[in-house]
């Protein structure tokens, strides 16, 4: 075969193919061949713009982290449906792409300076009220972001928000409209109501009715399919033994920490920004910066000059204070100038895309490594956890081997010293304890290997530090419930249904009589209205259902009443009568008027913007893969 390949490789066709490959390598590199072979279509295309696999992956990972964080310590990653998660994130990315395209068409823009200002003024990135680079990076790492990713996120979110605010700030309300709304809100009504209770105990149910109900519902009166499993559990915590860590191990860990420790230099600085505007060109800005620098060199206080002259709104009121920052925070020219200064020195004007800066270095500090005494407790825990992780992983491998080669859990229990526990029966929706509530355990318990072949499961990771292996204990098939088992349940159900039906019939009879002109005394001599004068919409002395029905009824004619029926939370019914409607006072103070107008405008703006986004989404050309 090798000889055949060798001979064929000398032919003209083979030489042409080799030549084409060589040209491709020369022009585009080896990655061009790899991309041709592995190129996948974008997950979606919105109006000709691709949503990348990377965007989708990052969105899914971020959403997964948030969901797991909400689940708490016992979060089960397997409970997250990746298909649903992918679709949810992709829908969100499509919506964002549509809104970003629209914001771009509308001409909205966010400068790099504004992004910087948003970042340095975010409280989560500050320490003692000042921006801290280490805090910034730590928060981003915990959320799965890099600084560049976060800047891009800010830009996109702010552009969308600008467009949204354009709609919301365009809405308004008129003074007469406000007065009308306030008058309606403050309106009061004179209300009568009569509650018709539901009393299942007063209703009789015959054996024939119970038997008929059982026969009718027999198909649904079944027990749930359930299983009970035996299981052994490994916990990483059981392998952690801090007290067994030797002093030599702690010293070795400390030495490794020192070997990898790098002191970071941070610089505390102030700055003054002379920005370039329509009224001040670049030459004028440079001249102004030089003038201010000379003023400072001659003895003026840098902070006072910054308060008076700096165009950086975020730091000007603080005297241009930027706090301690390391490398990588500021744009290149600014950072280069800052790290060339000595404490107390003021830089020459530094040109960036934002304008001209004057920088004064206040102080320099370097982080130092902790002493062995300071780090000992942490190092002891760290060494114990590392050893526990190794022992835990080794135990999982042993557990997997023993479970695979055994017909039950006895060998694993004896070899690893694990107790064989038995779960309570649980259905396909899982149980209530930490083990049987895991979807992975449920899937394994009802899987072919455990349920049908009576084998041990593979090791199942409940979370990052807990693993179980299960074996079927008992399988309980669904069965028909007998009449005696459900008699009490059926009787209570029938009593409640008949009582509610009787109450409804009584209410309808009362309504018909009242609307025809009869009085309550004529219809039910022993019943009395409960009356409330001038009840408001938020009256807490009345049942909420009664108030809601009363304010939904029309205004009655003079000397008459409007009637309606309110369904109460306990299943009972109330006949509601409105005798009079009193207009509310529509007068407003200036503060109340401004607050109400703002609220109404905001609500309308949100409604208009939602309609706008729905329209954009409907009109967008979206292709998904």
> What pLDDT is recorded for position 263?
65
* 85 Cβ contact list (under 8 Å, min separation 6): 60, 63, 64, 67
> To 5 degrees, how large is the angle CA 520–CA 521–CA 526?
105
Distance from C-alpha of 485 to C-alpha of 471, rounded to nearest angstrom: 31
* Rg (the chain; Cα; Å): 37
The pLDDT of residue 292: 93
Tokens (6 digits) for 261: 């420790």
pLDDT band at residue 36, thresholds of 50, 70 and 90?
very low
Residue 552 has pLDDT above 90, yes or no: yes
Per the structure block, which two tokens stand in for 348? Answer: 């020459």
Average pLDDT of the residues in 298-325? 89
pTM of the model: 0.48
C-beta atoms surrounding 274 within 10 Å: 25
Who contacts 186 (Cβ-Cβ below 8 Å, separation ≥6)?
536, 584, 585, 586
Q: Is residue 593 within 8 Å of 178, Cβ to Cβ? A: yes
Q: Could you tell me the two tokens for 93?
A: 């990315």
Read off the pLDDT band of 256 (50, 70, 90).
Answer: confident
320: left (phi over 0), alpha (psi -120 to 50) or beta: left
Tokens of 285: 């800005």
Torsion angle defined by CA atoms of residues 127, 133, 136 and 141, in that order, rounded to the nearest 10 degrees:
-130
The more confidently predicted of residues 596 and 17 is 596
Query: Can you tell me the distance from the alpha carbon of 499 to that of 572, in angstroms, rounded to the nearest whole number?
Result: 9
Percentage above 90 pLDDT, the chain: 34
Question: Can you give the pLDDT at residue 38?
Answer: 46
Mean pLDDT of 555-576: 91
Pinpoint the alpha helices (H) of 406-438: 410-416
Quick one: pLDDT band at residue 455, thresholds 50, 70, 90?
very high
Task: Give the whole-angstrom CA distance, residue 451 versus residue 472.
Answer: 6
Domain 265-366 matching CATH 3.40.640.10: the answer reads no
Encoding tokens for residue 384?
């114990």
Kindly state the average pLDDT of the residues 421-446: 92
Whether residue 56 contacts residue 89, with contact meaning beta carbons closer than 8 Å, is answered with: yes
Read off the tokens for 345.
Answer: 């020195």
Share of the chain residues as helix, strand and coil, in percent rounded to the nearest 5: 55, 20, 30
Per DSSP, 425 falls in state P
- Cβ neighbours around 8 below 10 Å, total: 10
- Quickly tell me which residue has 């001979």 as its tokens: 7
Residues 342 and 392: their CA atoms lie apart, in Å, by 53
DSSP 198: -
pLDDT band at 147 (very low <50, low <70, confident <90, very high): confident
Higher pLDDT, 243 or 72: 243
Asked which of 39-43, 235-239, 279-283, 339-343 is least confident by mean pLDDT, the reply is: 39-43
Bridge partners for 469 per DSSP: 232
Which pLDDT value is given to residue 229?
Answer: 96
Of 466, 496, 617, residue with least CA distance to 98: 617
User: Hey, what are 116's tokens?
Assistant: 């910087």
360 vs 347: CA distance, rounded Å: 6
Closest to 150 measured CA to CA, from 142, 551, 32:
142
Helix (H) or strand (E) holding 577: strand 573-582
Running DSSP on this structure, what letter comes out for residue 346? Answer: B
- Which pLDDT band holds residue 40 (cuts at 50, 70, 90)? low
When the pLDDT of each residue in the chain is averaged and rounded to a whole number, the result is 85
At residue 26's C-alpha, the angle toward residues 24 and 31, to 5°, is 60
Averaged pLDDT for residues 308-330: 86
Across 263-285, average pLDDT? 85
**Res 389: pLDDT:** 83
* C-beta of residue 42 within 8 angstroms of C-beta of residue 53: yes
Residue 376 region, left (φ>0) first, then alpha (ψ -120 to 50), else beta? alpha
C-alpha distance from residue 135 to each of 227, 262, 362 (Å)? 50, 17, 21
Please compute the mean of the pLDDT values over residues 542-565 and round it to a whole number. 93
Mean pLDDT of 185-208: 90
d(CA 388, CA 380): 12
Mean pLDDT (whole number) for 606-617: 90
- Between the CA atoms of 90, 92, 95 and 98, what dihedral angle is there, to the nearest 10 degrees? -70
Average pLDDT (344-359) is: 91
Check if the beta carbon of residue 286 is closer than 8 Å to that of residue 94.
no
User: Looking at residue 37, what is its pLDDT?
Assistant: 41
Handedness of CA 298, 303, 306, 312 (dihedral sign): positive
| Predicted confidence band of residue 379 (pLDDT cuts 50, 70, 90) | confident
pLDDT by residue (tens digit) across 467-520? 999 999 999 998 888 888 889 999 899 998 898 898 899 999 999 999 998 988
Q: In this predicted structure, what is the pLDDT of residue 168?
A: 83
| In contact, 159 and 104? CB cutoff 8 Å | yes
**Of 321, 306, 256, 259, which Cα lies nearest the Cα of 120?**
321
């Amino acid at each position: 075969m090798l000889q055949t390949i060798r001979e064929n490789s000398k032919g003209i066709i083979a030489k042409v193919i080799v030549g084409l490959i060589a040209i491709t390598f020369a022009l585009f590199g080896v990655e061009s061949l790899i991309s041709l072979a592995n190129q996948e279509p974008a997950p979606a295309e919105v109006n000709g713009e691709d949503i990348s696999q990377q965007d989708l992956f990052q969105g899914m990972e971020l959403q997964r982290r948030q969901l797991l964080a909400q689940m708490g310590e016992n979060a089960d990653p397997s409970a997250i449906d990746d298909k649903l998660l992918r679709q949810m994130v992709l829908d969100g990315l499509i919506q964002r792409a549509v809104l970003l395209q629209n914001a771009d068409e509308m001409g909205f823009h966010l400068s790099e300076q504004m992004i910087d200002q948003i970042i340095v003024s975010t409280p989560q990135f500050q320490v003692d009220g000042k921006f801290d680079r280490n805090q910034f990076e730590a928060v981003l790492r915990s959320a799965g972001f890099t600084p560049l990713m976060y800047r891009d996120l800010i830009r996109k979110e702010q552009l969308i928000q600008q467009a949204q605010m354009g709609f919301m700030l365009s809405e308004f309300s008129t003074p007469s409209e406000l007065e009308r709304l306030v008058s309606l809100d403050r309106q009061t009504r004179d209300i009568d109501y009569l509650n018709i209770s539901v009393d299942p105990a007063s209703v009789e149910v015959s054996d024939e009715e119970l038997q008929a109900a059982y026969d009718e519902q027999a198909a649904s009166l079944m027990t749930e399919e359930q299983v009970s499993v035996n299981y052994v559990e490994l916990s990483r915590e059981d392998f952690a033994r801090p007290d067994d860590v030797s002093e030599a191990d702690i010293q070795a860990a400390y030495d490794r920490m020192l070997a990898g420790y790098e002191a970071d230099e941070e610089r505390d600085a102030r700055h003054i920004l002379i920005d370039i505007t329509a009224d001040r060109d670049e030459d004028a800005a440079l001249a102004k910066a030089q003038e201010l620098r000379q003023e400072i060199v001659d003895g003026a206080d840098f902070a006072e000059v910054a308060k008076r002259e700096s165009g950086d709104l975020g730091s000007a009121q603080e005297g241009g204070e930027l706090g301690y920052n390391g490398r990588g925070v500021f744009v290149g020219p600014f950072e280069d100038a800052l790290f060339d200064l000595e404490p107390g020195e003021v830089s020459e004007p530094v040109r960036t895309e934002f304008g001209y800066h004057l920088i004064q270095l206040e102080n320099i500090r370097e982080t130092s490594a902790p002493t062995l005494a300071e780090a000992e407790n942490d190092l002891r825990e760290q060494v114990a956890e590392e050893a526990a992780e190794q022992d835990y992983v080794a135990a999982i491998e042993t557990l997997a081997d023993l479970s695979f080669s055994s017909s039950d859990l006895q060998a694993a229990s004896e070899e690893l010293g694990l107790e064989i526990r038995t779960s309570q029966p649980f259905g396909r929706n899982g149980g209530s304890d930490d083990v049987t509530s895991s979807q992975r355990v449920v899937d394994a318990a009802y899987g072919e290997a455990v349920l049908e072949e009576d084998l041990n499961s593979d090791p199942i990771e409940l979370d990052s530090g807990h693993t179980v292996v299960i074996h079927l204990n008992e399988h309980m098939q669904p069965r028909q419930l007998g009449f005696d088992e459900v008699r009490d349940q059926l009787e209570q159900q029938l009593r409640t249904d008949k009582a509610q039906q009787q109450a409804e019939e009584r209410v309808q009879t009362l309504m018909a009589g009242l609307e025809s002109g009869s009085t309550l005394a004529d219809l039910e001599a022993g019943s009395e209205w409960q009356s409330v004068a001038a009840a408001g919409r938020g009256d807490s002395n009345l049942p909420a259902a009664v108030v809601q029905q009363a304010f939904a009824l029309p205004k009655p004619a003079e000397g008459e009443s409007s009637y309606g029926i309110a369904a109460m939370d306990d299943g009972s019914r109330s006949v509601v009568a409105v005798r009079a409607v009193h207009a509310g006072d529509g007068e407003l103070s200036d503060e109340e008027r401004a607050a109400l107008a703002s609220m109404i405008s905001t609500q309308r703006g949100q409604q208009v913007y939602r309609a706008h986004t729905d329209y954009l989404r409907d009109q967008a050309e979206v292709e998904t893969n």
